[in-house]
Amino acid sequence: MTGFLTRLGARLDTLGAARKMARFRDGWPATASPNIKFHRTANAQYRYCDAGSGQTIIFVVDGPMTIEVYGPVIATFSARFRVVVVEMPAMGFSVAGSAFDFEFRSTNDDLAEFIREVCGEGSIFAFSCVTSLAALDIAARMPELVTHLTLIQGGGTQAFARFKAGRDPKGILARPIFGQLAMARMAPKRMPKWYALTVGRKEQIPHLCECAERSFAQGAMWSLASAFQIYMAKRDELPAPQQPILSIWGAADGSHPADNVHSLARLYGDVTCVTFDDLGHTPEIEDPGAVFAAITDFVDRR
C-alpha cells in the first residue's frame, strides 16, 4: 500500500494536467516532429508518432529523450513496419491525468489500453529499460497484444532494484515530495551527466543534449522520482511470458551494474541475447540499422 506522503508527492507530477494536455495538443509538441498524434485513455494523454505500414512495432521513449530524437529510428524501421513511438505518462509530453497513481499494475493497464486502442493486437514490443517490466507484465496478462518481446537494456524487478540503487545512491529521489521537487529542479542539469554516463558513441551527445534542452524548455517532463517511489517498488519477479524474448544490450552503458547484463536470460527460458559492445543505453538511437537487423532477424526466425 502506497503511503500518504508518497501519494501526495506523486500528485506534484500530475498538477495542471488538463491545462498541460490542451497546451501540448495545441502547441510546440504537436508540430515538433512529423506524424505526431495524441490519444486519451482513462488516466493519461499519450503523445506518440505513427508512421509506416506492416506489422506494428512499438518503441517506448526512454527519458529524458523525447520523440524528437527517434527520427532515424522511425525512418529505418518504417521500411518494413508500422512504427509507433510513444512517451510514457509524465515523461516527455505525455500527460498523467489527476487520477494517475504511478502504481505498477494500473500504469501497465493504462499503457495496455493505449496499445489496444491505437495499435491493436499482435504488435512487437521494443520497450526500453524500466518499461521492459511493463512489456513483461502486459505480455503475460494480455498475450494477444504482442507477438515478440524485443527488450532493450531490460531486466526483471531485481535488476531494476539494483539499477535504482545505483542511480539514486543518496536516496534523494526516493524521498516523497522532496524527490519530486528535486527532480523538477535538477532534471535539465542532470541530463548532460546522464548522457555522458550512458551513451556509447560520444559524438552524438551534443545533439542529444540539444534536443533535450529544447524539449525541457517547452515543458517536457522527466518524472523519475514518482517512478522510483511507486512504479519500481514492486519486488516479485514477473511470470514468464509465452512470447519469445530478444534481449538487446548496449555494453557501453554505464548506468546498469554488470549483474544486469542480459539478466532476462537467467530468469526466463526462451531468451535470445544480442550485445553491441560500442553502443550504450539506447542502442536503437545510436545505431538504428544495427538494431533493425537484430530485431528483424529475430522476428523472421521466431
Q: Give 70-79 pLDDT, tens digit per residue.
A: 999 999 999 9
- Tally the C-alpha atoms within 13 A of residue 166's C-alpha that lie toward its C-beta: 16
How long, in residues, is the chain?
302
Q: Please state the pTM of the whole predicted model.
A: 0.97
56 DSSP β-pair partners: 82
DSSP state of 137: H
Amino acid identity, residue 212? A
Q: What is the rounded distance in angstroms from the CA atom of residue 285 to the CA atom of residue 170?
A: 30
Judge whether 190 and 225 are in contact, CB under 8 Å: no
Q: Name the grid cell of 180.
A: 519530486
Q: The cell 505526431 sits on which residue? A: 36
Q: What is the rounded distance in angstroms from the CA atom of residue 61 to the CA atom of residue 59?
A: 6
Judge whether 194 and 289 are in contact, CB under 8 Å: no
pLDDT tens, 213-258?
999 999 999 999 999 999 998 778 999 999 999 999 999 999 999 9
- What pLDDT shows up at residue 219? 95
Give residue 63's pLDDT band: very low, low, confident or very high (50, 70, 90): confident
Q: What's the average model confidence in pLDDT over 149-157?
A: 97
Whose CA is closest to 45, among 105, 104, 103, 113?
A: 113
Q: What's the average model confidence in pLDDT over 22-30?
A: 98
Give residue 274's pLDDT band: very low, low, confident or very high (50, 70, 90): very high
Q: Name the grid cell of 245.
A: 524474448
Q: Name the grid cell of 32.
A: 515538433
